[in-house]
Amino acid sequence: MREGWLLDIYPDGNDMVLWVTRGGSARSFRIHYPPYFYVSASEGRLDALRGGMEEEEVSISTGYELKRTRIRDYERRRVLRVEVESGRFNYLIPRIQSLEERGYRFFNVDVPRAQGFLYERDLFPMGRVSFSSLGSDIESLDDRFSTDYVPPPLKEVRMDVQPKTSINAAVESIRFEGEEEFELDGGNEGERILDAVGALDELDPDVVYLTGRDLSQISRRAAARGISSELRFGRDKTRALSRGRGKSYFSYGTVYYKQPYSPFFGRMRIDPENSFMYEDSGMEGLVELARLTKIPLQKSSTTSPGTGISSMQIDQAYRDGLLIPWRKQEPEEFKSALQLLECDRGGFIFEPGKGFYTGIGEIDFASMYPSIMERHNISPETVLCDCCDGADAPSVPECGYHICTRRRGLIPKVIAPLLERRAYYKEQVRRGVEGAPGYDMRQKAIKWLLVTCFGYLGYKNARFGRVEAHEAVTAFGRDKLFKSARAAEEAGYEVLHGIVDSLWLKRGGATEDDYEELCERIEGVTGLRISLEGIYRWIVFLPSKMDPQVPVLNRYFGTFEDGEIKARGIELRRSDTPGIVKRAQLEMLNALSEARDLEEYVERIGRCVSIIRRYSRWIREGDVDVEDLIISRRASKAPWEYSNLSSIAVSSLKLHRTGKTVKPGQFIGYVVTDSSSPDPWERVEPVEFYEEGSRYDADKYIDDVIRAGATLFEGLGYGYEFMRSLVTDGSRQRTLA
DNA sequence: CATTCGCGGGG
DNA sequence: GTGTACGCGAATG
């Protein structure tokens, strides 16, 4: 075997271990690649450092290279590359950190080693490679930016552990599903676990689907049986399962929980329930992501898209001979994307009055912010560059910053192929071309890379962030939205509202063709792609609490001409709304979708009342699935840190009491058992303990359904109380019952 | 009533 | 990459 797909790569001592698969059969080889970093300092001090390192034998080798050390500086300078014995790397970190105070600057210290290897060797995970029999030279047979690549034929297996009562419960059976299905339930617990290791060896899959929860259970039980070191689920028999703890971290005002990363060395373990990318865009999306970002698939399946775009930027820096500073140099004020979004709200004012409209068209810019960065060459080093003169370089609207005309920025270099690629995939899907289902998953994966790249420009600790670049993007955005609105008005449209990358317009009798024509005009004016999202039969913008006369943009719903429903911010979009409530609200929206005007809309309140009554009956009579009653929320604190005995606090405390650890950021599902009980402990039950057929608070769920119905008539003079009175109207209810 | 808590949004 | 939007609705005490 001399060819295959690069499946997995990880450091081991001073080597990198590479696994190449042909689908169910893989082989590995090692390439010498010790950890290294770069140092810059004045000439004399660099020589002194080199001498010192060699004398103390902390380095394997040192050598001078010419590299760029600052993104805004294009001159290559002499820097020292230091290769270190892997065992001494961690010991060295605090020592070199102290040297920073004495004028030394360190680079590429915290670049993940596997990725660094791939950047340098021009290889990428999931790419086709050839190698010599000894494995000493490996070569890419693939183009990272090709769109018609052959994805690796991966052999897959699903593993499932029973029982799931507790993460500490003894493993009674492990089920395998792949080419064949079988269950390991004989022998004692330790034997069952070791049989699972043996079964993987025999099946030899490339991909193992196994949830983090099940893996933790196996890991804990193996520890209890003293066989942790025998948990070698990977192809690499020298590496046992690592036992990490999950981590909670804070981001954008929310606590997130990150599962411990426990890779299967030489295979890929995918957690189908805790991989955002897998859930959103499947294995096709993950393969696309790993190829583009160079983060080994197993790892990128657990990380955020932001890590992916960051990796692509570092890869570009390697290409440009630019070193990666250890820590970001210039800390600056951080403004979140959403904060800016808030500022933009003042851009256009809604006409006051009722929130019900008919004949409204919505047009949206495609990937607006990334397109602006690409088109206007916005990057940390191009905005207010040192090489161009402010007078003749193009300038940013409002703030007047000039942008470099001599050099293409690092960020646009990364974004351009992504935009082009996504547009190509979307076009293929639209035309129904063969391979299109996979193309749709691929374009979705790219979408997330594009969405995050703007946020990173304004994030003060991002490696390639700069607040002025961030400002430039939003300034261009406002300018383009404003110009679009003007173009729309010139074409006879009334601009109802505009926000960031969307405009809601009205012109009596305007057809799809009219809107397409307008979009073309706007593309001409702004240079960006814009398209018709759809023409609404009707749309309702819910009133703001601050000023009930003014509708708000983050809570609205409506029906397009083709009957498709679009809703934002209402119950059915919330992840903590129980399924039964979501279904009822969606059914009501469908009933309303046929309405042609306000009168017809209001008339249909009767149908909504019937729907609510039907759901009430189901709920009251116990004709519902437990699944549909579960409320799922993210715990922001440890169980004992809550100040109120709220539903989430009680649920996490109940779990905690029985030894199920609940980390901040983890999702907790619970059923409301008796919301009005004076004893908070009686009010809710976590799903883990909730038994089929036990009681739930029917009144509470019915109330939620009524509320969800009332939302659809909010601002039209019918509130919750009114809806409730219609539903509970005695005589009619008796007729129904 | 004040306070606490979790969610949204990009396709 | 540990970044602490901000407005809202619902629940607690």
A193: CB within 7 A of chain B nucleic strand: no
Residues A52 and A28 in one domain: no
User: How many domains is chain A partitioned into structurally?
Assistant: 5
Q: What are phi and psi of A568, to 5 degrees?
A: -135, 135
Residues A363 and A383 in one domain: yes
Residues A521 and A422 in one domain: yes
Check whether A1 has a pLDDT greater than 60: no
A336: CB within 7 A of chain B nucleic strand: no
CA distance A354 to A506: 16
CA distance A383 to A377: 8
Q: Which residue in the block uniquely carries the two structure tokens 């901040």? A: A664
Measure A361 CA to C7 C1' (Å).
27
pLDDT value at residue A466: 83
Measure A666 CA to C5 C1' (Å).
21
Residue A684 maps to which CATH number? 1.10.132.60
Of A84, A105, A140, the residue at which a domain comes to its end is A140
Check whether A366 has a pLDDT greater than 60: yes
Measure A550 CA to B4 C1' (Å).
28
A248: CB within 7 A of chain B nucleic strand: no
Chain C: positions less than 7 Å from a protein CB are 1-13
Measure A674 CA to C13 C1' (Å).
17
- Residue A324 within any structural domain of the chain: no
A554: CB within 7 A of chain B nucleic strand: yes
Check whether A344 has a pLDDT greater than 90: no
- Residue A245 within any structural domain of the chain: yes
Please name the residue whose C-alpha is nearest to the C1' of nucleotide B8: A569
- Residue A590 within any structural domain of the chain: no
Give the pLDDT confidence of A387-411 residue by residue, as tens digits.
887 777 888 887 788 999 999 999 9
Measure A577 CA to B4 C1' (Å).
19
User: Using a 7 Å CB cut-off, which residues contact strand C?
Assistant: A 247, 249-254, 303-304, 306-307, 310, 334, 336, 338-339, 342, 455-456, 459-463, 544-546, 552, 644-647, 675, 680, 683, 700, 704, 707
Residues A305 and A402 in one domain: no
CA distance A244 to A258: 11
Measure A126 CA to C2 C1' (Å).
32
Strand nucleotide closest to residue A566 (CA to C1'): B11
Residues A540 and A404 in one domain: yes
pLDDT value at residue A133: 74
Give the pLDDT confidence of A147-202 residue by residue, as tens digits.
999 999 999 999 999 998 878 899 999 999 999 999 999 999 999 999 999 999 99
Please name the residue whose C-alpha is nearest to the C1' of nucleotide C4: A253
A337: CB within 7 A of chain B nucleic strand: yes
Strand nucleotide closest to residue A252 (CA to C1'): C3
Measure A677 CA to C11 C1' (Å).
13
pLDDT value at residue A467: 79
Indicate the average pLDDT of chain A: 87
Residues A99 and A24 in one domain: no
Strand nucleotide closest to residue A337 (CA to C1'): C5
Residues A191 and A92 in one domain: no
- Residue A580 within any structural domain of the chain: no
Measure A569 CA to C9 C1' (Å).
11
Q: Which residue in the block uniquely carries the two structure tokens 């009579």? A: A621
- Residue A607 within any structural domain of the chain: yes
Q: For the residues A466-471, what does the mean pLDDT come to?
A: 83
Give the pLDDT confidence of A491-530 residue by residue, as tens digits.
999 888 877 788 889 998 999 999 999 999 999 999 999 9
Residues A367 and A423 in one domain: yes
Measure A248 CA to C2 C1' (Å).
9
Residues A607 and A728 in one domain: yes
Please name the residue whose C-alpha is nearest to the C1' of nucleotide B4: A644
Measure A351 CA to C1 C1' (Å).
43
Residues A221 and A102 in one domain: no
Q: For the residues A219-234, what does the mean pLDDT come to?
A: 94
For residue A612, the tally of other CB atoms under 10 A from its CB is: 26
Residue A463 maps to which CATH number? 3.90.1600.10
Residue A25: domain span: 2-32+127-140
- Residue A217 within any structural domain of the chain: yes
Measure A566 CA to C8 C1' (Å).
20
Q: Collapsing DSSP states into helix, strand and coil, what is residue A474?
A: helix
A579-592 vs A605-620: helix axis angle to the nearest 10? 160
Chain B: positions less than 7 Å from a protein CB are 3-11
- Residue A577 within any structural domain of the chain: no
Measure A251 CA to C2 C1' (Å).
8
Residues A212 and A349 in one domain: no
Lowest mean pLDDT among A39-53, A205-219, A348-362, A688-702: A348-362
Strand nucleotide closest to residue A250 (CA to C1'): C2
pTM: 0.88
What dihedral angle (degrees, nearest 10) is formed by the CA atoms of A104, A109, A111, A117? Answer: 110
Residues A486 and A358 in one domain: yes
- Residue A145 within any structural domain of the chain: no
Give the pLDDT confidence of A519-559 residue by residue, as tens digits.
999 999 999 999 999 999 999 988 776 666 767 777 889 99
CA distance A217 to A168: 6
pLDDT value at residue A543: 79
Question: A121-159: string of b/e by CB count within 10 Å (b at 16+)?
Answer: eebbbbbbbebeeeeeebebebebeeeebeebebbbbbb
- Supply A103's token pair: 């004028």
Of A319, A353, A379, the residue at which a domain comes to its end is A319
Measure A603 CA to C3 C1' (Å).
48
Check whether A717 has a pLDDT greater than 60: yes
